[in-house]
């Protein structure tokens, strides 16, 4: 039987150490500690093609030292992955409910990154799809879902402010809606690393309307150091942040190109929406000239204003022109959503 180094502390993971398990897994936490799992080959093999192949191999000869490595009377397999991620993988295989994450939580991409990498490495396909489906659900895949998310964000901000008032707190002492909404930079990194392209358009659009100064970690640090700082006040008022430091050069290039294309799209909107209804009075054109035009900062929001039959383009314009602008705004808004993937995609 192979011996274990006395310099390494073996730590049994209590809820993943089964007395009737027939395989022990060692995973080094660091140079001084090793996590020990006692599991069931059948459970691992039933959910992982890699484990199934591993356990179907003939037993090595007795002359092989590794084949004689035993712990608590059970054969040992050593894995060289991140101990925390492996523990998460085993826990998910035994208790699927452990991978249910809070809806739209900004930390979800960070929590699932390592676990998703292992599901790919060990071909745990069903678990991988379960996790990815949760990530996808956090980001809109249609203009309708985008509007729902925007409405929920606004309602959340109102609820937080009302809660602060009811508890006698100042706004800067309250929570921030940003803590309950998906964060774009980590989502973009996860999308590329774990092949989840469906979330890229919405995540990049959210990033495009977030300034580099609106940094996720910096703004949260200000809540403790300087709660009256202008940036912190903006955050409490509903401004969104991003983990800018997580982005790589290719992400920043995609963002810059996308913002440039959004600007071009915005410049075309005024021309595309000029009233051309045959019954139009010339005065409608004069009214249109004074209407604030959509800007690149948040085109989806600005175009939505033009979709309203009552708010835009304002008094003095005939009903036919107003309806025509509403119709064109809806079409342009749908076109814009459909092209976000093109705008922020790699060239």
Reported as a single tens digit per residue, the pLDDT across 153-186 is 999 988 888 887 888 876 666 778 889 999 999 9
pLDDT score of 63 more than 90: no
Are the beta carbons of 337 and 142 closer than 8 angstroms? yes
Are the beta carbons of 237 and 297 closer than 8 angstroms? no
Are the beta carbons of 309 and 222 closer than 8 angstroms? no
State pLDDT tens for residues 42-54. 999 999 999 998 8
Instruction: Give CA–CA dist 224/239, Å, rounded.
Output: 18
> Which of 283, 291, 289, 285 has the alpha carbon at shortest distance from 308?
291
Q: What angle do CA 196, 199, 204 make, to 5 degrees?
A: 125
Under the banding of pLDDT at 50, 70 and 90, the label for residue 312 is low
Instruction: Give CA–CA dist 265/251, Å, rounded.
Output: 21
Q: Which two tokens stand for residue 70?
A: 């035993």
What is the reported pLDDT for 310?
65
Sign of CA dihedral 118, 124, 125, 131: negative
Are the beta carbons of 116 and 65 closer than 8 angstroms? no
SS3 136: helix
Provide DSSP, 278-338: TT--HHHHHHHHTSPPP-GGGHHHHHHHHT-TTTSS-TTS-HHHHHHHHHHHHHHHHHHHH
State pLDDT tens for residues 98-111. 888 899 999 999 99
DSSP 22: S
What is the reported pLDDT for 64?
39
What is the reported pLDDT for 2?
44
Under the banding of pLDDT at 50, 70 and 90, the label for residue 325 is confident
What is the reported pLDDT for 37?
96
What is the reported pLDDT for 1?
42
Are the beta carbons of 35 and 11 closer than 8 angstroms? yes
Instruction: Centre a 10 Å sphere on the Cβ of residue 24 and count the other Cβ atoms it contains.
Output: 22
Instruction: Give CA–CA dist 113/107, Å, rounded.
Output: 10
pLDDT score of 236 more than 70: no
Q: Where do the DSSP E strands lie in the chain?
A: 9-17, 23-28, 33-39, 70-71, 74-79
In Å, how far are 17, 30, 35, 69, 103 from 8, measured between CA atoms? Answer: 19, 9, 10, 15, 39
Q: Of 47-61, 114-128, 159-173, 272-286, which has the strongest mean pLDDT? A: 114-128
What is the reported pLDDT for 11?
93
- Domain residue ranges in the chain: 1-81, 137-247, 256-344
- Burial code (b: 16+ CB inside 10 Å, e: under 16) for 70-86 equals ebeeeebbebebbbebb
What is the reported pLDDT for 58?
64
Determine the average pLDDT of the residues in 305-321.
Answer: 71
């Amino acid at each position: 039987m192979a011996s274990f180094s006395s310099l390494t502390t073996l730590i049994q993971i209590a809820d993943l150490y089964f007395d009737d398990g027939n395989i022990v897994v060692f995973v080094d936490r660091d140079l001084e500690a090793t996590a020990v799992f006692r599991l069931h080959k059948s459970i691992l093999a039933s959910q992982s093609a890699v484990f199934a192949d591993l356990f179907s191999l003939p037993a090595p000869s007795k002359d092989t030292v590794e084949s004689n490595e035993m712990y608590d009377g059970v054969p040992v397999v050593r894995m060289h992955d991140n101990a925390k991620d492996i523990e998460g993988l085993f826990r998910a295989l035994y208790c699927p409910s452990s991978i249910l994450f809070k809806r739209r939580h900004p930390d979800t991409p960070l929590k699932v990154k390592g676990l998703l990498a292992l599901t790919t490495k060990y071909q745990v396909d069903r678990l991988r799809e379960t996790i990815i489906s949760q990530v996808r659900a956090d980001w809109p895949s249609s203009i309708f879902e985008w509007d729902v998310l925007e409405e929920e964000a606004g309602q959340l901000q109102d609820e937080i402010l009302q809660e602060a008032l009811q508890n006698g707190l100042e706004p800067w002492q309250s929570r921030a809606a940003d803590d309950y909404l998906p964060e774009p930079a980590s989502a973009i990194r996860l999308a590329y690393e774990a092949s989840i392209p469906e979330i890229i358009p919405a995540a990049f659009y959210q990033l495009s309307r977030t300034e580099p100064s609106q940094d996720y970690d910096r703004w949260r640090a200000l809540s403790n150091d300087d709660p009256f700082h202008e940036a912190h006040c903006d955050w409490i008022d509903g401004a969104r942040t991003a983990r800018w430091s997580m982005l790589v050069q290719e992400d920043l290039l995609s963002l810059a190109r996308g913002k440039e294309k959004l600007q071009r799209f915005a410049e075309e909107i005024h021309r595309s929406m000029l009233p051309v209804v045959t019954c139009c009075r010339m005065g409608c054109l004069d009214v249109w000239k004074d209407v604030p035009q959509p800007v690149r900062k948040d085109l989806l929001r600005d175009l939505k204003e033009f979709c309203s039959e009552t708010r835009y383009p304002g008094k003095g314009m005939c009903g036919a022109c107003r309806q025509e602008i509403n119709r064109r705004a809806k079409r342009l808004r749908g076109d814009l959503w459909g092209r976000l993937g093109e705008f922020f995609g790699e060239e």
